Structure 1
Amino acid sequence: MRRTAGARGRWGRAAALAVTVICLAYAPIAMTELWPYARPGAPAPGEWLLGRSVSPEFVAEAVRDRTGPYGRSLVPLIAHSVLGGLLMLLGPVQLLSAVRRRVRLHRTTGTVFAVTVYVSMAGAALYLVRTPPAEAFSGAAFWIVLATVLAGTVGSVTFGVLAAVRGFPDLHQRWLLLCYGFLMTAPLLRLEWGLLPSLYPGLDLFDINRVALMHLGALVSSGALLASRALDRRATVPGLTGTWSPLPVRIAAHLAGAAGLVWITAAFLDEGTAGRRLLLAYLVPYAVTYAVIAVRAARSAAWPREEWSLHLTALCLAPAFSAVTVPVLERTLDLDRLTALVAGVGIGCGMLAYAAVAAVSLRILYAREVLRRQRESTDLPAAPAKAGAALEGGRG
């Protein structure tokens, strides 16, 4: 058991170090990414690196595809990217200050972090509002996923702030880790711009983005979950009884998920080579994520098992959610089947991870309410007894 805990600790430190390195490396790239659109020839280390890791033609294509959509909202987008780079720096500071119990530093940087998220996401929201989905960089599917990430980021930081104000540090931690997971889609997408062309030679940026959308949601949400579980060392939560994910619920979720996966598989296979490529990019990361969470749930007990089980149930429902969402997107936004399929699958895991964190939060709050009522019920008999004693004394 000690060896297992030690191994997990080493993996946790390695993961934290990797995330910190990625954030520190991406911060200057994010801050300068849009400068060339405002002043041609301005320094852009991200373009320089991408040109040498892939090709100058790949970079030229990326710039050409973004020039029109970005030109209409350049000022808010520059604010979004510069502040996004600042968030990459604030994230590791927040994590390290929380782990090391630097309360004053954590609160100060946390306030700056939350305000920066709101202002940065406001810039992104202006871009999305001013840009029709079909005219957005990389098309309507990318627009829909960006809008979902924006909503998830703002919602999770809001719940995180409310949890901190109400004195719920465990909930605050979960929501802020999910928020940072959503923010990590930006540097991870840039990494995929550099890596995926070697796996798919000749694929343009439009299709590279579609491949990345298939698994980024599952990647960042599972990373946030692993971080939450690594930081929460409690074996039990006071007041926690039973489970919100009993066997019948898990069976129903697995059946719904299996049906959703069958539908998604058939839909992608109908799209030929592009569909098979996208299906593979979705199924492999999904299977790995499922295996990790399922094994952790089976090997855990009490509170850890409950949290793993709630997230596993949500993960199973993600394909079913996507299968239902695809026809809705087709009809409401007048999208073709492949675009709606990419968008629906791209937001599924992220949306259900958000729902899982909400369920976990309600589970903890419910346990605290149960504990509060138990304490009140044990205090109630004492009050009548004292009142009766006082009454008897008065009669005497």
Structure 2
Amino acid sequence: MRRSTGNTWRRVAVIALSAVCVGYAPIAMTELWPYARPGAPAFGEWLLAHVVSPRYVADALATRIEPYRHSLVPMIVHSVLGGLLMLLGPAQVLTAARRRTRLHRVLGVVFAVTVYASMAGAALYLARTAPEDAFSGAAFWIVLATILAGTVMSVTFGVLAAVGGFPDLHQRWMLLCYGFLLTAPLLRFEWGGLPLILPGLSMAEINRVATMHLGSVVAFGALIASRALDRRTTVAGVSRSWAPLPVLVLAHLAGAAAMTWIVRSSLDFGTQGRRLLLAYVVPYAVTYAVMALRARRAGREGRLWAREEWRLHWVALCLAPVLSAGAAPLFERSLGLDRLTALAAGAAIGCGALAFAATLTVSLRVMYAREVLKRAAPARGTASRLSTPVS
């Protein structure tokens, strides 16, 4: 009964994800047409204007004309190929689920090349745009640069894992890569949905709220998908935990101290600071609760590999505020940002960056386990030969 329910939820999730991706693809591909040819149709602008208001959209786009115009070709390449990636993602999931190995590999090569080309366009835009000229300010520029780096490194590690014969790690890295790509459609959902909760804010202000948690949400979604697809109770060669109780305790203490600093610093900025803090803390708390409960349940049920992966990501989540608290003053001094912008940028990238680090740690854990087995095989063979009686 439990397995049947789990399969149903997986099917629903795949269908919902595919619908979002297929629906967003034409929006991404046409998003920059009006900048190249005024008056050209842009489905995303039209939809957002009807969901919220035409003024809400017009005020936001008025500030984008100059920054986009001097990087229009790279941005069009980025958006058109980004729309293509939205279609390739569900296709990859379906070919993997139906074990169409050859087609999956061909589409995988196309997907990886498209990621590199699309992210190259985004990199050119960021290189040509000063952080303060990005939409809603420098914090968003930093978030975009971080997501770009995470996407490129994730697909690279995914390719290397496939070539190295680690299908489980390949799956994790590609899910994380696609999670980073999904920040684009999810951001558009928040542009349309958050004004219902926070009426009167401009799109730029809504954007600041959304970026406080988008990276952590998509990374957490990739982890949930990875764990749903991995039903192994144990992994050969994995014995002692890399996240034992002392490590968990230290991570919690460090994370609590850093989170206290983030909360106190945010409260110094009145309504705006409290709004950004709430957008950061609520998703963080939900993610923390789910990881803690899943790790404990896996341990009680004897699913040692699941417990290990959950605990590694749990440690990373605890340490995310530490990275954020350290990055904020660095951004403030090196980029000349005001204190709130630097604090928001640090908080916005912390969970996503540490989720990437946790996935890397899981990969090293699996690779180390394989190496342990390789080294143990000759020893077992030698012991077997020595124990064989000579006739």
* Interval containing the TM-score (normalised by the shorter chain): over 0.9
Q: Partner of 1:334: helix, strand, or coil?
A: coil
The residue type equivalent to 2:172 in the other structure is R
- Structure 2: stretches of 5+ with no match in the other structure: none
The residue type equivalent to 2:99 in the other structure is R
Aligned to 2:178: 180
Q: Partner of 2:240: helix, strand, or coil?
A: coil
Q: Partner of 1:313: helix, strand, or coil?
A: helix
Aligned to 1:369: 371
Aligned to 2:251: 253
Q: Number of paired residues?
A: 387
Render the CA deviation track for 1:155-189: whole Å, top value 9, x for unaligned.
Answer: 00000001111111011000000000000000000
Question: What is the CA-CA distance between 1:7 and the residue it aligns to?
Answer: 2.5
Aligned to 1:168: 166
Is the Cα–Cα contact under 8 Å of residues 65 and 138 in structure 1 kept in the other structure?
no
- Report the more deviating stretch, 134-143 or 243-252: 134-143
Render the CA deviation track for 1:15-52: whole Å, top value 9, x for unaligned.
Answer: 22111111010000000000000001111000000000
Correspondence 1:110-259 to 2 at 5 A: 110-259=108-257
Question: What is the CA-CA distance between 1:385 and the residue it aligns to?
Answer: 8.5
- Structure 1: stretches of 5+ with no match in the other structure: none
Render the CA deviation track for 1:304-363: whole Å, top value 9, x for unaligned.
Answer: 000000001101111111011101111111110111011100100100000000000000
Render the CA deviation track for 1:113-170: whole Å, top value 9, x for unaligned.
Answer: 0000000000000000011111122211000000000000000000000111111101
Q: Aligned partners of 2:139 and 2:69: how far apart in 1?
A: 20
Per the normalisation by structure 1, the TM-score is 0.95
Q: Partner of 1:235: helix, strand, or coil?
A: coil
Q: Aligned partners of 2:164 and 2:78: how far apart in 1?
A: 29
RMSD: 1.4
Aligned to 1:285: 283
The residue type equivalent to 1:149 in the other structure is I
Q: Aligned partners of 2:324 and 2:143: how far apart in 1?
A: 12
Correspondence 1:62-141 to 2 at 5 A: 62-141=60-139
Identity %: 66
Is the Cα–Cα contact under 8 Å of residues 133 and 139 in structure 1 kept in the other structure?
yes
Question: What is the CA-CA distance between 1:383 and the residue it aligns to?
Answer: 6.2
Q: Partner of 1:12: helix, strand, or coil?
A: helix
Q: Aligned partners of 2:378 and 2:292: how far apart in 1?
A: 38
Q: Partner of 1:202: helix, strand, or coil?
A: coil
The residue type equivalent to 1:283 in the other structure is V
1:37 paired with 2:39, answer: no
Q: Partner of 1:380: helix, strand, or coil?
A: helix
Question: What is the CA-CA distance between 1:244 and the residue it aligns to?
Answer: 0.1
Aligned to 2:347: 345
The residue type equivalent to 1:177 in the other structure is L
Q: Aligned partners of 2:377 and 2:238: how far apart in 1?
A: 14
Q: Aligned partners of 2:64 and 2:12: how far apart in 1?
A: 35
Per the normalisation by structure 2, the TM-score is 0.97
The residue type equivalent to 1:124 in the other structure is A
Question: What is the CA-CA distance between 1:80 and the residue it aligns to?
Answer: 0.2
Correspondence 1:293-332 to 2 at 5 A: 293-300=291-298, 301-332=303-334
Of structures 1 and 2, the larger Rg is shown by: 1
Question: What is the CA-CA distance between 1:69 and the residue it aligns to?
Answer: 1.0
Q: Aligned partners of 1:299 and 1:381: how far apart in 2?
A: 39
Which of 59, 62, 71 pairs up with 1:61?
Answer: 59
